[in-house]
Amino acid sequence: MISVRQALSLIQKHTVTPVATEVHIEQALGQVLAKDILSPIAMPPFTQSAMDGYAIRLSTDPKYKVIGESKAGDNIGYEIKKGEAVRIFTGAVIPEYTDTVVIQEHVEIKGNNIFITKLPAKGANIRLKGEQLSKNDLVLTKGHKINEASIGLLAGLGVQKLKIFQTPKTGILVTGNELQVAGTPLIAGKIYESNSVMLKSALKRNGFGNTNIYNVRDDISYTNKVIKKALSENDVLLISGGISVGKYDFVREALLSNSVKEVFYKINQKPGKPLWFGARDKKRVFALPGNPAASLVCFYIYVLPELRRQKGFTNRDLKISSGKLSRAQENRSGKSLFLKAKVNNTSVEILDGQSSAMLHSFSQANALVLIPESKKIIEEGEKVEYLELGYE
């Protein structure tokens, strides 16, 4: 059985290089830029007023004659002479030979003339052409995660399309004869199916929407057929259940007969020991244990980092932090443990209910504590590392 570290490095070794695609800026939020963007224009595109006031050529004489008006959007072509002013508003073109804008609060108006009551500094209240960006300046670099400010910046430069890294298409295939869809009273012997909607939500929260869902009975030929279809329709396939060693666990066999090469099977960890990972061309398959908490742990630890790599991210989204254990914890299993925990400031409380079938403790947690396989006991107050789940 391989270790957590080995499993992570095998997945990384088999990573699929991100693929660039062109999208409209409206589709770019949260995506990773696949190519540097150079500014197609200067920003601002012309020298403009930053305030409402009067554009002047500054002199020692406080009196100026107002010869016209320039509002945002106008392009009148005034040429100012000494002692003249143009009434001007924020965003309007600065007339030729103007060097300063005096704000309207600092003038007195007498007929066609203004008298400056508080002398501005030369160059005040003017945004120079290109002061933010010159034409062909580097605006955003490859690898930048597009946020709403970047979208505004690009829109202001007239950029409509940009190259981002594609989001891999994800599918979830759920196995189990015992699974019943919610909506009708539970039949004896059945359980409500919960992994598909849980994993779909985890994908969605992390920017992987539009997941395809497939359901199969514990039947080898049916499992074979649906895996074939799911592989043709997705880049990364998550499978829930059917990967243990029971008589009715057919997922491994079905994956192998669909030519998915096994990279590893089983990790020395708790929960999530039976995790299976395989590759076929550019397709990747994670067969997750059916137990809900184990499934979700494997998602955060193994699936999400690979999905993010494929999307062009170079950092992991869920941060690893450290805190002090509030109660001593034993680890007699010789396995790596992922424990649901509640972190308060720096105090880390391991929650009750760590079984791989239990989601109640998971829903109350905000962290997964990482206990190394070699660590037999962690004392109260000892430092532990944990993955921040991002739950609020």
Q: Report what 381 binds from ligand AMP, Mg ion, none; CB cut-off 5-8 Å by kind.
A: none
**Mind spelling out the 3-state secondary structure of 14-62?**
CCCCCCEEEEEHHHCCCCEECCCEECCCCECCCCEECCCEEEECCCCCC
Sign (positive/negative) of CA torsion 319, 241, 362, 343?
A: negative
Smallest gap from Cβ 225 to ligand AMP, in A, equals 18
Q: Which is nearer to ligand AMP, 125 or 196 (CB)?
A: 196
Closer CB to Mg ion, 241 or 272, in the complex: 241
Nearer to ligand AMP, 146 or 239 (CB): 239
The CB-of-243 to Mg ion minimum distance in angstroms stands at 8
Instruction: Kindly state the smallest distance separating residue 371's Cβ from ligand AMP, in Å.
Output: 23
The minimum distance between CB 242 and ligand AMP, in angstroms, equals: 5
Written as one string, the DSSP assignment of 120-185 is PPTTTTEEPTTSSB-TT-EEE-TTPBP-HHHHHHHHHTT--EEEEEPPPPEEEEEE-TTEE-TTSP
Contacts of 253 (CB under 8 A, 6+ apart): 220
Burial of 117 (0-12, 13-18, 19+ CB in 10 A): exposed
The CB-of-176 to Mg ion minimum distance in angstroms stands at 4
> What's the distance, CA 318 to chain centroid?
10
Residue 86 has phi, psi (to 5 degrees) of -120, 130
Q: How far is the CB of 216 from ligand AMP (least distance, A)?
A: 11
Q: Name the residue type at position 31.
A: Q
Shortest distance, position 304 Cβ to ligand AMP, whole Å: 19
**Which two three-digit tokens encode residue 3?**
């270790």
Instruction: Give the closest residue to 265 by CA, choosing from 289, 300, 232, 281.
Output: 289
Tokens at 104, concatenated: 């309207």
Q: Which does 292 bind (CB under 5 to 8 A by kind): ligand AMP, Mg ion, none?
A: ligand AMP
CA 190 to chain CA centroid, nearest Å: 37
Q: Which is closer to ligand AMP, CB of 55 or CB of 238?
A: 238
Say which entry of ligand AMP, Mg ion, none residue 174 contacts (CB below 5 to 8 A, set by partner kind): ligand AMP
Minimum CB separation of residue 251 from Mg ion in Å reads 9
Chosen from Mg ion, ligand AMP, none, partner binding at 195 (C-beta under 5 to 8 Å by type): ligand AMP
Three-state DSSP string of 312-336 = CCCCCCCCEEEEEECCCEECCCCCE
* Binding site partner of 95, from ligand AMP, Mg ion, none, Cβ cut-off 5-8 A by kind: none
Give the residues lining the site for Mg ion (CB under 5 A).
176, 241-242, 290
Which parts of this chain interact with ligand AMP (CB under 6 A)? 174, 176, 178-179, 191, 193-195, 240-242, 244, 246, 289-292
Question: Residue 291 binds which one of Mg ion, ligand AMP, none, with CB within 5 to 8 A depending on kind?
Answer: ligand AMP
In this complex, which beta carbon is closest to ligand AMP, that of residue 194 or of residue 364?
A: 194
Residue from 208, 210, 364 nearest 293 by CA: 364
Q: Which does 191 bind (CB under 5 to 8 A by kind): ligand AMP, Mg ion, none?
A: ligand AMP
CB-nearer residue toward ligand AMP: 113 or 215: 215
Which lies closer to ligand AMP via its Cβ, residue 84 or residue 249?
A: 249
328/322 Cα distance (integer angstroms): 16
Alpha-carbon distance of 283 to 185, in angstroms, equals 38
Looking at beta carbons, which residue is closest to ligand AMP?
290
Which residue, 176 or 323, has its beta carbon nearer to Mg ion?
176
